[in-house]
Structure 1
Amino acid sequence: MPLTADVKAELMSVRDPRPQARVAEVTSLLRFSGGLHSIAGRIAIEAELDSETLARRAARDIIDLYGVRPELGRVQASSSRQEPRYVVRVRDGGETLARQTGLLDQRRRPVRGLPNRLTTGTRDDLAAVWRGAFLAAGTLTDPGRSAALEVTCPSSEAAMALVGAAHRMDIAAKAREVRSVHRVVVREGDAIRAVLDAMGAAQAAADWESLRQRREVRAGVNRLVNFDDANLRRSAQAAVAACARVERALELLGDDTPDHLLEAGRLRLAHREASLDELGHHADPPLTKDAVAGRIRRLLAMADKRAEERGLPGTEAAVPPGMDGA
């Protein structure tokens, strides 16, 4: 992925002078690229990375911070993986390094997430945690409907630690599990740019934003070319009518609106032109298209029943004249 490679190349040039931030980055990189292993009864640390340059950089940081000299190795490409991988391995002193980085607790138990001192640190420390995680296992896709910045995680605990670090930087990220693989995903365009900026990939963030804007303009032009004005008007009218009915429903029910229906109604009003599928992605936790549609139908039905009981106009009465309330 060219975008991913560009981001990683820029991140590898970031050198935070503060020791704590460097420790946070190295620890995160080790956690998300491998972990602890037992070799001949001794604890070793292994990190498998996608470039020789990154592997050498990681080895140099381990030497500088901990005085331990790792071994470097190369894993040949296979039928399932087209590119070779590079291994940074610490055997002698592996247990000591694991304790120093916080990957092993005082009782010699592996830490499944990240050391608490890192995920509750300063904003610079949190950014370093994300930088190490992305260098180890991150990807960035092109702007568009499926745009995402993702980090593959070794465990659910590691995923939640990374999500927590993002939230402390006011960045929306969510944990996902797909086919038993844990991932942390950032989908909103503004959030993706914020993560890139926080990690130190300012140029990549600017390039990604520029590409996103160009594609949005192109998509807007294509929509005008591919759909006639009548269809666009009908879609706009339907959106206006739907939002008008939801606003009336929330007004009729007031504080008696059930929380899950209130959330669906607020989503409809906050994203007026979004499809039901897109509304589902905005929900927390995410909902299916059918779940969103069902909740909005129940909201309107409950409000119409309340209006009938009180002899008041129902939700249809809120639809402006000439609009399609279907």
Structure 2
Amino acid sequence: MSLTDSVKDELAAVRDPRPTARVAELTALLRFAGGLHSIAGRVAIEAELESDVLARRTARDLMEIYGVRPELHRVQASSGRNGGRFAVRVIEGGETLARQTGLLDQRRRPVRGLPNRLTTGARPDLAAIWRGAFLAAGSLSEPGRSAALEIACPSAEAAMALVGAGARIGISAKAREVRGLPRVVVREGDAIRMALAEMGAQRTAAEWEQLRQRREVRAGVNRLVNFDDANLRRSAQAAVAACARVERALEILGDTVPDHLRQAGELRLAHRDASLDELGHHADPPLTKDAVAGRIRRLLAMADKKAATDGVPDTESAVPANVED
């Protein structure tokens, strides 16, 4: 199963009981999976979805929330797609539904983005918008240089609305055109993990983060093999080990870590290959290399002490077995 399928399976099982969140998710799904059509001179709503399970769930939500009975059809796959797709179509009462969901404005004009009342809603509603959009048109690639969480958008306005909704709940995303088609893209590793968690894919977020960390450690270790100079190799090993220990220390201490020690640890992680002297120059205000080293040393000592008290693995346990500390 691909990562995208894993995310969508998990999100399809999320059932937020709040009416506003259900409306937000369903509206976003309809908007990003197809939206408005004109059939026999009448306004119709149609969503084209990847799975029978999601199509049936969408039809059930339409009946429960709006009292309409949609049609379900299997759609022949195009040459660029594998397998079939499933269409959820509402013709009878389509215009009324379009007004209720906000896909049509009061003057019967299609809404190019998303209804304003949704994008300015509460946090659960904004998360539901992202969940519905991803279920309709999202994809997730594996961790690496080209890692990305992407959502294909029906219009540039819809892309900007999704970016704005994400910004309000801490999802850092950008709208861009890819081969002439608008998309919303999340690229940075932590931002991808946060987006998955906010949408409700907690399990996949954790699995994706573990895979990312394993690959980063492996990449760091693999780089060591190519170093010809023994001193460079030892320095690189020390950097990998130090970063692994700092990450573990911040995890152990959580919110209890003092701000000045957290800043030193985050500085180490942000500039993994930098020397202590270089780290000091990156600090604001600048620090001496001895000050940076002292703060990181105190951070690790504090974390190891707490780990011993709590009976959990200490910072040394985070260092890969084939890397010398």
1:216-295 correspondence to structure 2 within 5 Å:
216-229=216-229
1:212–1:38 Cα change, 3 Å: same
Partners of 2:76 and 2:229 lie apart in 1 by: 56
Partners of 1:21 and 1:85 lie apart in 2 by: 26
Give 1:11 deviation, angstroms: 0.5
Please state whether the residue corresponding to 1:99 is helix, strand or coil: helix
1:64 aligned partner = 64
1:83-232 correspondence to structure 2 within 5 Å:
83-229=83-229
Amino acid at match of 2:135: L
Provide TM-score, normalisation by structure 2.
Answer: 0.71
Partners of 2:155 and 2:141 lie apart in 1 by: 23
Give 1:181 deviation, angstroms: 0.5
Give 1:178 deviation, angstroms: 1.6
2:53 aligned partner = 53
Partners of 2:118 and 2:137 lie apart in 1 by: 18
Partners of 1:138 and 1:104 lie apart in 2 by: 24
The Cα offsets for residues 172-207 of structure 1, whole Å up to 9 and x where unpaired, read as 100010221000000111111111111111000000
The Cα offsets for residues 200-230 of structure 1, whole Å up to 9 and x where unpaired, read as 1100000000100111111111111123337
Give the alignment's Cα RMSD to 1 decimal.
1.9
Identity of matched residues, %? 77
Partners of 2:230 and 2:178 lie apart in 1 by: 41
The Cα offsets for residues 96-143 of structure 1, whole Å up to 9 and x where unpaired, read as 000000000000000010000100101100000000000000000000
Uncovered stretches (5+) of structure 1, i.e. residues with no partner? 237-269, 275-326
Partners of 2:190 and 2:197 lie apart in 1 by: 11
Amino acid at match of 2:59: A
Please state whether the residue corresponding to 1:60 is helix, strand or coil: helix
Partners of 2:222 and 2:272 lie apart in 1 by: 21
Uncovered stretches (5+) of structure 2, i.e. residues with no partner? 237-269, 275-325
The Cα offsets for residues 258-313 of structure 1, whole Å up to 9 and x where unpaired, read as xxxxxxxxxxxx76869xxxxxxxxxxxxxxxxxxxxxxxxxxxxxxxxxxxxxxx
Please state whether the residue corresponding to 2:146 is helix, strand or coil: coil
Partners of 1:184 and 1:212 lie apart in 2 by: 21
Please state whether the residue corresponding to 2:109 is helix, strand or coil: coil
Amino acid at match of 1:39: I
Amino acid at match of 1:97: L
1:25 aligned partner = 25
Please state whether the residue corresponding to 2:107 is helix, strand or coil: coil
Provide TM-score, normalisation by structure 1.
Answer: 0.71
Aligned residue-pair number: 240
2:12 aligned partner = 12
Give 1:231 deviation, angstroms: 10
1:106–1:231 Cα change, 3 Å: farther
Partners of 1:229 and 1:121 lie apart in 2 by: 57
Partners of 2:77 and 2:183 lie apart in 1 by: 24
Partners of 2:232 and 2:47 lie apart in 1 by: 53
Partners of 1:119 and 1:271 lie apart in 2 by: 36
Amino acid at match of 2:47: A
Partners of 2:231 and 2:134 lie apart in 1 by: 43
Please state whether the residue corresponding to 1:46 is helix, strand or coil: strand
1:56–1:78 Cα change, 3 Å: same
Amino acid at match of 2:222: N
Give 1:80 deviation, angstroms: 2.0
Give 1:83 deviation, angstroms: 1.8
